[in-house]
């Protein structure tokens, strides 16, 4: 399947985000805005210092996906 390499610009993505947040726009406008945002580049996550240390997650107890405590 061919891939689409075109991506929405930052300014268009910003406008699309504002449209989705605004309750005055109707469904069609929000649909177009959502499509524009779906075609943006994924944002890079900022990696800050871990205040709990590098192995803090490995020392945490396992979490039950159903919320049941054993």
Which H, E and C letters describe 2-54, residue by residue?
Answer: CCCCCCCCHHHHHHHHHHHHCCCCCHHHHHHHHHHHHCCCCCCCCCCCCCCCC
Is 57 within a domain?
A: no
Question: In the chain, which residues have pLDDT < 50?
Answer: none
Q: Output the pLDDT for position 24.
A: 95
User: Can you give the pLDDT at residue 6?
Assistant: 81
Q: How many structural domains is the chain composed of?
A: 1
Domain that holds residue 37: 7-41
In a domain, 15, yes or no: yes
pLDDT of the residue at 9:
92
> Which pLDDT does position 38 carry in this prediction?
92
């Amino acid at each position: 399947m061919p891939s689409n390499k075109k991506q929405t610009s930052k300014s268009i993505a910003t406008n699309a985000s504002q449209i989705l947040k605004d309750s005055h726009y109707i469904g069609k406008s929000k649909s177009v805005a959502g499509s524009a945002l779906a075609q943006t580049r994924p944002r890079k996550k900022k990696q800050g210092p871990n205040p709990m240390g590098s192995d803090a997650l490995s020392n945490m107890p396992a979490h039950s996906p159903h919320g049941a405590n054993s």
